[in-house]
Amino acid sequence: MRKWIIGALLIAAVTVRFVVASSPSDPQGIDPRFDGRWVGVETFRLNNADESWQGGPPQIQAVLVIAKSGTMVGFISGFAPGRYIISPKSKGNAIWFDSERRKAKLTLSADGNTIKEEGNAAIFVHYRGNVLTGLSCTFRRIGK
């Protein structure tokens, strides 16, 4: 009986430690003004100065939605729509997120009216396959 109690306490301690260690960033640490719907035009740039886009860099209209005090980030449209897991290092006016196709930082402006996205994306280019590109966008708020 004593071994069972010790085993149960050990499992409970490990579970609590895992949940605390794997939880997303503290929602109190992210600026709540991030929440809302945002629209912008994502622009892709090649990281290699020797290359250029035929016809100019690709651009895609994007709609970004942020909720729950900045702890939920998703793209309704644009490059790689879907929900993204935010990094634990997100706090204040910066949200970091990552996936297999996109890694970026969202920075909220001082007045809370725009978000700047800077990062990298892997996009498919005809006859070349997947290409790592730079990604940038300035989003403006369209609603809460």
110 DSSP β-pair partners = none
d(Cα 27, Cα 71) in Å, to the nearest integer?
Answer: 6
CB atoms within 10 A of CB 114: 15
Q: What is the pLDDT along the chain (144 residues), one digit of tens a residue?
A: 444 444 444 444 433 333 333 344 444 589 999 999 999 999 988 866 556 666 677 899 999 999 998 999 999 999 889 999 999 999 999 999 988 889 999 999 999 999 999 999 988 877 778 888 899 999 999 976
CATH architecture of 27-143: Beta Barrel (2.40)
Return the closest-CA partner of residue 51 out of 107, 134, 111, 118. 134
